[in-house]
Amino acid sequence: MTRTDVPSFIAQERRLVTEIPGPRSRALEARRGAAVADGVSTSLPVYIAAGSGAVLVDVDGNALIDLGSGIAVTGVGHAEESVVDAVQEQVARFSHTCFMVTPYESYVAVCEELNTVTPGDGAKVSALFNSGAEAVENAVKIARHATGRQAVVVFDHAYHGRTNLTMALTAKSMPYKDGFGPFAPEVYRVPVSYPFRDPEAMSGPEAAERALRLIETQVGADNVACVLIEPIQGEGGFVVPAPGFLAALASWCTAHGALFVADEIQTGFCRTGDWFACQHEGVVPDLVTTAKGIAGGMPLAAVTGRAEIMNAVHVGGLGGTYGGNPVACSAALAAIALMRHRDLAGAARRIGDVVLERLRSLQGAHDAIGDIRGRGAMCAFELVQPGTKKADPEATGAIVRACHAAGVVVLSCGTFGNVIRLLPPLVIGEELLREGLDVLSEATTSILGAR
């Protein structure tokens, strides 16, 4: 296919021409069964042939509205033109040299962008990697090296990846950790601020106090290399901490010589209506991990932080064969430029207004929607047995499946599997967004109404 064959002719509309999944997708799914390891799961077995903006077209010719962005990756939209151009241009020049062997400008330029857009005014530097998990692993390496300490504090409902260290950092056993131990040591878990499930009226600073007392008594403040947290938890259920929680943790870190590390892998790059979620709380982390939305769909990740912390690591202590691959770096530069020029943070705030208004009216109609929450284009609702806070993963799965059958990609999440999350591309048009939400509302009403 040439460039002009693919995305530009894809209308921004939902169009179903077969059942979902269609016959070609089902044939591919059968082939997959014999070829692909069962451990790799799939939410919606519809095989994709092309994408554009907020629409995915499958091999049967169905056009789906994407409210998941490949898990918060394609914020700039599928096959975004400037990203496609940058990738094609770079891959034709050279695709790899290894920055540790012979460097190239785009790696430096991505680091410059990261040092500019991440929170904090002081001197910062960055290092580039391939995946979110790899970025988190490296943030921990850097924090340990810079502080000379070992303990890493993480939270209930946290998700930080699937490698050995990041499995230890992740809270949920099934499916991420079950049977994969032993896990890395010196990882300590404390309660997060989860307003819907915390005691009534527990403030952010009170929730921080609850966590910090445990750290002080069970770990010892002087042993803590870093406190690692998602400013809004992603896989754990889009948990937005109470105001003041993050700031209290960050100031405790400063007072005790520990580093505050923000895992902004899911929340970063305009998703929550600002460049990074920490900014809503005025918190400046010592280190920030990024990935997902950074490069318009190409695999890239980074650790960015205060220069004196990052540069504490000896020369040669950080790196990897592919980290900061030139094609991924070119894509990131195009994606970041687009975020700036099209004000995708503002777009995310407008998306959030539309989504939250719709979720509020749904909640008004259904007692089973226990909580709605989120920021910008990262919103979710939590399904419970009416009148209780008992999770209802069955209703959640049924609503997600009904959306899929109607041609709208939505994802679930949450420690209890009872949260439906919305992560539309930030470039989605309002009409298409509203149509996707109509489908979600109808699915929710028909599933919950039938109970």
Ligand X SMILES: *Cc1c(COP(=O)(O)O)cnc(C)c1O
Closest residue to ligand X, based on beta-carbon distance: 132
Cβ distance to ligand X smaller for residue 21 or 425: 425
Cβ distance to ligand X smaller for residue 366 or 375: 375
Cβ distance to ligand X smaller for residue 55 or 302: 302
Binding segment (CB under 6 A) for ligand X, from list 56-64, 259-267, 273-281, 310-318: 259-267
To ligand X, the closest distance from the beta carbon of 171 in angstroms equals: 12
* Whole-angstrom distance, CA of residue 23 vs CA of residue 15: 16
Cβ distance to ligand X smaller for residue 234 or 376: 234
User: In Å, what is the CA distance from 56 to each residue of 33, 77, 78, 423, 424?
Assistant: 23, 10, 8, 14, 12
Whether 266 contacts 292, CB under 8 Å: yes
User: In Å, what is the CA distance from 344 to each residue of 109, 173, 376?
Assistant: 20, 35, 10
DSSP 349-406: HHHHHHHHHHHHHHHHH-TTEEEEEEETTEEEEEEB-TTS--B-HHHHHHHHHHHHHT
**Residue 266 binding ligand X, by CB under 6 A:** yes
Cβ distance to ligand X smaller for residue 22 or 241: 241
Cβ distance to ligand X smaller for residue 144 or 421: 421
Cβ distance to ligand X smaller for residue 7 or 268: 268
Strands (E), 20-110: 48-52, 55-58, 63-66
Cβ distance to ligand X smaller for residue 264 or 392: 264
Instruction: Say whether 237 sits in a helix, a strand or coil.
Output: coil
* Whole-angstrom distance, CA of residue 275 vs CA of residue 409: 25
**Residue 265 binding ligand X, by CB under 6 A:** yes
User: In Å, what is the CA distance from 304 to each residue of 42, 143, 164, 290, 309?
Assistant: 32, 12, 22, 8, 10
To ligand X, the closest distance from the beta carbon of 405 in angstroms equals: 26
**Residue 133 binding ligand X, by CB under 6 A:** yes
Out of 75, 77, 205, 234, the residue judged to bind ligand X by CB under 6 A: 234
Out of 136, 211, 295, 334, the residue judged to bind ligand X by CB under 6 A: 136
Return the residues of window 283-302 that contact ligand X according to CB under 6 A.
291-292
Structure token digits, residue 286: 């010592």
Return the residues of window 43-72 that contact ligand X according to CB under 6 A.
none
Q: Which positions from 416 to 445 touch ligand X by CB under 6 A, shown as an x/- string?
A: ------------------------------
Structure token digits, residue 27: 């044939």
Enumerate residues 6+ apart whose C-beta is below 8 A from 247. 204, 281, 282, 283
Out of 25, 52, 131, 193, the residue judged to bind ligand X by CB under 6 A: 131
Q: Among residues 313, 302, 299, 319, which one has the least CA distance to residue 268?
A: 302
To ligand X, the closest distance from the beta carbon of 353 in angstroms equals: 24
What residues make contact with ligand X under the rule CB under 6 A?
Answer: 131-133, 136, 159-161, 230, 234, 263, 265-266, 291-292
